[in-house]
Amino acid sequence: MVKSIPILKIFTNHVKILRQTYKFKLKGKIIGKRSRKKLTGCEKPLLLLKALIEDKNISLDEQNLDEVVELLAMNKNIDIESKKRSIKRDMDQIMNVFNIDDYQVFEYDKSSKSYKMNSIPYALNKFKKINEQIIVISELAKNLDVEVIETIQEIANRDEDVYMFLNSEFEKIDTSKKQIHIDIAEAIRSRFYISFSYNYAKHENINEFKPLKILFTDNNWYMLGVVDKIKMRFFRINFILNLEVSKKTFQRDSIKEFKDFVINKIQNSMTLYGEESRTAVIEASKRVSIYFNEGRKLFLSSQKFKRENSDGTIIFTVEYTQTLEVLPFIKKWLPDLKIIESPDDELQKALKNDLELSLKHYEN
């Protein structure tokens, strides 16, 4: 059973949004106490929201509909189907406000024809398990309602005596870059063009950039999107300067092909758009075979288990668009990974060249 007080804190900001959507100010104890007066269109969804937060189910099944009708003090002369439609409209509004992408705070159960709140909202469940991520999210969310921040920080600090992070899972976000994160996110949601300066290997000025995603990979934050209409590029957010969000928007169809690539193909910041994928066959030694056996965690999204040999070694494949996409992974596991096959032996040659250059540092 979810306690209502912490959940109410989490939803404070969202209830404000809902009230503003309906242009309605709460008076007296309309939410805390049912009124027998006819409810307005803005009061009904707020009562439904309160019931959901208190862990009640909102049922559209005719056998259980009376309880919801009583809660909403709906006119008893209205026919059942009209009542159902009215409640469904309100619930759709609530679902639209709270359920974003994978963060399903409320869900609809088709078998029981009822709406309910998840036992622990998906988002909070993820946050509670990854304390350091919460700290970052808390830093990024400084512009949110103070009660939201306090609740997230409470979750982050709850298990500080249990967990310890020797390596920071997240790149430290420069204070001056926090607003850039927020602006990029808003530009992605609204499909606004952006312009910015980029100071990495060289200084660049990027104009009319279509941002697609904020990506966390290789322990760093990246923005990826489309430049010059046909090129997809990654930009490390900590090296972005002077970002400006335009009010000019781009069409959803103009980025569809790129978004499909992001969702289905990208493995890390070295994945190249527009390049054909090649396949490499890798052998893992018996010593590390437990990490590469079937069903284990994948180190690359394209990684596929092939077989276990009689000597205990494991054969698997990976796909790549350039050698830099997979070589750092292979080097990390040396000498226990061996490249068996790649097109024109390109991976073997690139690895041999890098090893020879490294060995020269130790020659007398």
- What digits encode the pLDDT tens for the residues 174-205? 667 778 888 998 999 899 999 999 998 899 99
Side chain identity, residue 233: R
Question: pLDDT at position 52, please?
Answer: 72
| Rounded Cα distance, 177 and 278, in Å | 36
137 domain-assigned: no
Domain CATH number, residue 230? 2.30.30
| Rounded Cα distance, 26 and 167, in Å | 47
Say if residue 198 is in the same domain as residue 113. Answer: no
Question: pLDDT at position 76, please?
Answer: 57
Question: pLDDT at position 339, please?
Answer: 98
Say if residue 48 is in the same domain as residue 99. Answer: yes
Say if residue 231 is in the same domain as residue 291. Answer: no
252 domain-assigned: yes
pLDDT for 330-339, tens place per residue? 999 999 999 9
Q: C-alpha angle 86/91/92, rounded to 5°? A: 100
| Rounded Cα distance, 178 and 188, in Å | 16
Domain that holds residue 305: 278-360
Alpha helices in 305-345 (DSSP H): 327-332
Of the candidates 227, 322, 329, 219, the residue with the CA atom closest to the CA atom of residue 270: 322
The phi and psi torsions of 172 (rounded to 5 degrees) equal: -65, 130
Q: Which of 50, 85, 120 delimits the end of a domain?
A: 120
146 domain-assigned: no
CB count within 10 Å of CB 221 equals 24
Q: Which residues contact 134 (CB under 8 A, 6 or more apart)?
A: 127, 128, 152, 153, 155, 156
Question: pLDDT at position 314, please?
Answer: 97
Domain CATH number, residue 331? 3.30.70
133 domain-assigned: no
153 domain-assigned: no
Say if residue 186 is in the same domain as residue 114. Answer: no
Say if residue 210 is in the same domain as residue 285. Answer: no
Q: Which of 264, 294, 313 delimits the end of a domain?
A: 264
Say if residue 75 is in the same domain as residue 97. Answer: yes
Q: Which of 120, 140, 159 delimits the end of a domain?
A: 120
Q: What is the model's pTM?
A: 0.55
Say if residue 101 is in the same domain as residue 197. Answer: no
| Rounded Cα distance, 308 and 14, in Å | 52
Query: For the chain, which ranges sit under pLDDT 50?
Result: 1-37, 101, 120-124, 126-135, 138-139, 141-145
Of the candidates 70, 7, 69, 73, the residue with the CA atom closest to the CA atom of residue 37: 73
Say if residue 11 is in the same domain as residue 98. Answer: yes
| Rounded Cα distance, 208 and 17, in Å | 31
| Rounded Cα distance, 31 and 344, in Å | 70
Tell me if 6 sits within 8 A of 54, measured CB to CB.
Answer: no
162 domain-assigned: no
Question: pLDDT at position 344, please?
Answer: 95
Say if residue 184 is in the same domain as residue 253. Answer: yes
305 domain-assigned: yes
* End-to-end CA separation in angstroms for the chain: 69
Q: How many domains does the chain have?
A: 3
Tell me if 190 sits within 8 A of 249, measured CB to CB.
Answer: yes
296 domain-assigned: yes
Say if residue 20 is in the same domain as residue 114. Answer: yes
